[in-house]
Amino acid sequence: MHVDERTDKFFRLLSRPIIMQKIDIDCFFKKLQNHAKELKSKIYDARDFRKPVALDQQNIGRLTRADALQVQAMAVEVERRRYFELEQINRALKRIALDEYGQCLSCGEDIDLARLDIIPTTMTCIQCAEV
- Among 107, 99, 104, CA closest to 123: 104
User: What is the per-residue binding string for Zn ion in 108-127, x denoting contact by CB under 5 A?
Assistant: -----------------x--
Say if residues 68 and 57 touch (Cβ distance below 8 Å). yes
Nearest to Zn ion of 39, 120 (CB atom):
120
User: What is the per-residue binding string for Zn ion in 37-76, x denoting contact by CB under 5 A?
Assistant: ----------------------------------------
User: What is the per-residue binding string for Zn ion in 86-105, x denoting contact by CB under 5 A?
Assistant: ------------------x-
* Candidate residues 69, 76, 107, 119; the one interacting with Zn ion per rule CB under 5 A: 107
d(CA 56, CA 65): 8
Residue 110 backbone phi and psi in degrees, to 5: -70, 135
Strands (E), the chain: none
Nearest to Zn ion of 7, 21 (CB atom):
21
Min dist. Cβ of residue 99 to Zn ion (A):
18
d(CA 51, CA 78): 15
d(CA 15, CA 3): 18
Nearest to Zn ion of 89, 125 (CB atom):
125
- Among 79, 56, 77, 82, CA closest to 68: 56
Min dist. Cβ of residue 31 to Zn ion (A):
22
Residues near Zn ion (CB under 5 A): 104, 106-107, 125, 128
